[in-house]
Structure 1
């Protein structure tokens, strides 16, 4: 007989008789198939709850622990998962009849012997559905699995086990300060570390890991500790002196930044960002660009496959969105005090000109025979755009930022970015946005641009696109930008 189709004769008939009756079937396998379908609906789950079906299925699972077959066990777990999907009676019965312990035994058995990832996934889905019932259910699961079994399953480099495990951990800890605290100490952080390593290696299909990491890194301010655990090199103790070299960033660190960047971009205005987090990211960016080999031109956007380049890119996108929704300006002010604008303007100065300007310069070089400068190429497509975007968001309705950019001779530099660049999609749009923010309500900045344009130093038709034009004041004879209307 095929091991995957076990005979019901090996089981005590009185154990599974209620399942045969509830499904009107003549054999156990057929009964489970029918009941799995019935339990997909709310009415079906309610009806089966009144028949005490869940307790029978738990007994069946326990009986299958020492069986060489996996088919009946998989079908039993699938039925348990469905029965516990929003049906409180079944969720309560599951906990009361040691369902957590039974699932733990199942997962322990398959994770130490034949590594049946399908069984592990199904068992985790059962726990995830049960955890939605409330605190007592969450605690029952947590104290059975935390931390060792969570770490063990998180270390399996499989997407099908990583997704439901993240759901279990998130739903159990969400709303519980005590359980979140346990995740943020030495016992809990290895779980998060292994989840990041797994998701970085195999990807993820559901958003639970994003929810979990944003809660821990942003809500609980544990970003730096987790970032450090992924590659423990450097001094992270005070968050200010991050001593990393470009060859010491790893893909898992870039992945963590990518997850947080995506979360911030999707929930701008909803996620609270602390000064510490923003300064940590700025510190990482400084170290990355300070130790990066700028010789090679990037030929793709993010992610590039290079850990250090991706760290640079995702740090910039995090800072871009941080500056976009820092309504009170406290975080932006901290970033400014730590040299954000100074750093970005310096990088822009050192960067080679946009493609269209570079091509024009090449023609001039070919004619005149002069050598080009030692400017730096963009490490990835979009690098210039991302820096301009950060500057533009910083300058929005912040006069002290507008003034700093002028004082650092950044206005002409940003005007040069108002061009189409094949290596930086949407550069022109971000540069126009930045110029608008630099000029809004700032007479000094408007005067600088007006004088540049009147002198022929710049030819920027985009200024007209902002609804402005150059005009000479008849009284003072000074140039200024005024509304075109």
Structure 2
């Protein structure tokens, strides 16, 4: 009511125009922003007044300012003013640059608490905004966004809705073959391929959560694409020696550093999740000839930690209450196409009852 918000905003706008690096003026700039942040805390009327006067240009200019402290204080003000309705305003084409600037500020200064809070408490919780941002981001920026998304899902801080889950699945399906670029040592940091790796990580976590599992199990083409890219990477690793080639040093002490480490393991995990108590998907993997493919990935592989365990998990989900899939594995074992020792390691054995081969469990399914 004293008009201090108006005066502070006018002062900030004046200091912006001066474009000076004089410390005394920068201090005034910072203090003005800090004052706005303080006066907005817990006061909806002040928040609305600041939003009316500062949105969008003042926020955008301050977030992009070369002074790190000005960035931080501006993000404090922005975080304090944001709510669900205001976050949706960022989806508009004319305002989207603010959301993009916040993410880029996080990339420049990941230790900035206010920037992090804006991203995690507001931006990631608006599916429409995530989709709009994703379309405008570079591959490096997409990787950052997905890593933040993954961290929030793992921490139980983000409930992904069906819209977001479907969008991310579509992104994976569209670009997943880019990961094949990583077979070349010259492309080991290909940015598009790194996005695919992170998308797969996110999908694995989402399908491990019952809230998103049903949606992704029925997502058109996702399972087919997962099986297809597993086959392509597996064949690639057999044709030439590359990061998709299964290796086993025997020591377990050699640390391998490559962005695609664990990719095939995660693909099998995703396939297993998508087939969990879902006969339609179990049958689909059968039709795609995916069961022999998974069985061929049961050996220890230093490039894919825990791949044998995830293969056990996937085979369990593929054969649970599915006689046709059980019979296929039993026939493969009889014909020598499936290694009996591999089946035993999975806790499975083949028995003949009359003229029929039966796949039976000989021990309790491990908790993977």
- Whether TM exceeds 0.5 here: the answer is yes
CA distance in 2, matches of 1:390, 1:158: 44
Instruction: Say which of 436, 439, 442 aligns to 2:316.
Output: 436
CA deviation after TM superposition for structure 1 residue 359, in Å: 5.4
CA deviation after TM superposition for structure 1 residue 289, in Å: 3.5
Alignment of 1:134-145 (within 5 A): 134-145=43-54
CA distance in 1, matches of 2:340, 2:62: 58
The aligned residue for residue 253 of structure 1 is 142
CA deviation after TM superposition for structure 1 residue 139, in Å: 0.9
Alignment of 1:83-482 (within 5 A): 96-111=1-16, 112-115=18-21, 123-156=32-65, 160-175=69-84, 177=85, 179-206=86-113, 208-209=115-116, 211-212=118-119, 215-230=122-137, 249-267=138-156, 270-275=158-163, 277-290=164-177, 294=181, 296-297=183-184, 306-327=190-211, 329-335=213-219, 337=220, 339-351=221-233, 352-353=237-238, 358=246, 380-459=260-339, 461=341, 463-464=343-344, 466=346, 468-482=347-361
Q: Residues 97-136 of structure 1: CA distance to partner in whole angstroms, max 9, x if unpaired?
A: 4443344345445544334567655654544444331321
CA distance in 1, matches of 2:67, 2:79: 18
CA RMSD, Structure 1 to Structure 2 (Å): 3.5
Provide the secondary structure at the position in 2 that maps to 1:345.
Answer: helix
CA deviation after TM superposition for structure 1 residue 451, in Å: 3.1
Highest relative contact order (Cα 8 Å, sep 6+), 1 or 2?
2
CA deviation after TM superposition for structure 1 residue 151, in Å: 0.6
CA distance in 1, matches of 2:121, 2:55: 20
Provide the secondary structure at the position in 2 that maps to 1:286.
Answer: helix
Q: Residues 41-69 of structure 1: CA distance to partner in whole angstroms, max 9, x if unpaired?
A: xxxxxxxxxxxxxxxxxxxxxxxxxxxxx
Q: CA 1:131–1:450 in structure 2 vs 1: closer, same or farther (change >3 Å)?
A: farther
Contact 1:218 1:273 in 2 (8 A): no
Contact 2:179 2:196 in 1 (8 A): no
CA distance in 2, matches of 1:122, 1:421: 56
Q: CA 1:128–1:453 in structure 2 vs 1: closer, same or farther (change >3 Å)?
A: farther
Contact 1:273 1:322 in 2 (8 A): no
CA distance in 1, matches of 2:177, 2:92: 32
TM-score, with length taken from structure 1 = 0.61
Q: Residues 344-392 of structure 1: CA distance to partner in whole angstroms, max 9, x if unpaired?
A: 11111111259797559xxxxxxxxxxxxxxxxx972222223222212
CA distance in 1, matches of 2:277, 2:352: 26
Q: Give the length in aligned residue pairs.
A: 345
CA deviation after TM superposition for structure 1 residue 341, in Å: 1.4
The aligned residue for residue 251 of structure 2 is none
Structure 2 unmatched ranges of 5 or more:
249-257
TM-score, with length taken from structure 2 = 0.78
The aligned residue for residue 82 of structure 1 is none
CA deviation after TM superposition for structure 1 residue 145, in Å: 1.4
Q: CA 1:432–1:118 in structure 2 vs 1: closer, same or farther (change >3 Å)?
A: farther
Q: Which moved more, 1:216-225 or 1:136-145?
A: 216-225
Q: Which has the larger radius of gyration?
A: 1
Alignment of 1:42-53 (within 5 A): none
